[in-house]
């Protein structure tokens, strides 16, 4: 069973995972939630929801998939939502450890340009709003 970095584990109520603290674990959890919302996860019929893939990821990052992809971007279909959340968590762990094309020095806006293919400014504004920060906030201010 997947557990968010801050310890929240009720995936049916993932929107409530923010525990209100400024701990590193909760900031990472909030970023995961913000990305999931920006990607449309939880909306019935949306690709991320159908794919158990809150990050709309195109790589499995070592988590179990059905072998299928959805949409023109090739969004991975994870076997379970636990696997999808785990993969999104790993994506941010790779950024934190310096093992990603995304860097801690990236702003949310520059991260959007390499993370999503469409409407990067809108995506960045949505993520930033969910985080309660400006789109020019750097990832190290959230993940370090």
The string of pLDDT tens digits covering residues 78-127 is 999 999 999 999 999 999 999 999 999 999 999 999 999 989 999 999 99
- Tell whether 128 is covered by a domain: yes
* Per-residue pLDDT reduced to its tens digit, 10-27: 999 999 999 999 999 999
- Tell whether 31 is covered by a domain: yes
pTM > 0.85:
yes
Residue 54 pLDDT level (bands cut at 50, 70, 90)? very high
- Tell whether 58 is covered by a domain: yes
Cα distance between residue 86 and residue 13, in whole Å:
16
Cα distance between residue 27 and residue 75, in whole Å:
25
Q: Angle between the 24-39 and 81-96 helix axes, to the nearest 10 degrees?
A: 120
Region 130-134: mean pLDDT is: 97
Considering its fold, how many domains does the chain have in total? 1
- Tell whether 133 is covered by a domain: yes
Domain limits for position 131:
21-143
- Tell whether 33 is covered by a domain: yes
- Tell whether 6 is covered by a domain: no
- Tell whether 7 is covered by a domain: no
Note the pLDDT of residue 97: 98
- Tell whether 11 is covered by a domain: no
Q: Which residue has the tokens 């994506």?
A: 91
Structure tokens, 53: 């893939």
Note the pLDDT of residue 17: 98
Q: Which residue has the tokens 């801050």?
A: 6
Note the pLDDT of residue 35: 98
Note the pLDDT of residue 115: 96
């Amino acid at each position: 069973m997947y557990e968010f970095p801050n310890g929240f584990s009720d995936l049916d109520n993932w929107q409530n995972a923010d525990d209100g603290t400024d701990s590193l674990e909760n900031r990472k959890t909030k970023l995961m939630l913000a990305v999931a919302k920006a990607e449309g996860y939880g909306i019935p019929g949306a690709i991320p929801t159908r794919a158990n893939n809150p990050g709309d990821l195109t790589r499995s990052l070592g988590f179990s998939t059905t072998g299928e992809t959805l949409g023109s971007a090739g969004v991975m279909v994870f076997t379970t939502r636990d696997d999808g959340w785990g993969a999104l968590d790993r994506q941010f762990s790779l950024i934190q450890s310096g093992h990603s094309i995304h860097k801690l020095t990236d702003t949310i806006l520059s991260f959007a340009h390499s993370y999503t293919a469409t409407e990067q400014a809108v995506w960045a504004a949505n993520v930033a709003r969910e985080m309660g920060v400006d789109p020019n906030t750097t990832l190290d201010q959230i993940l370090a």
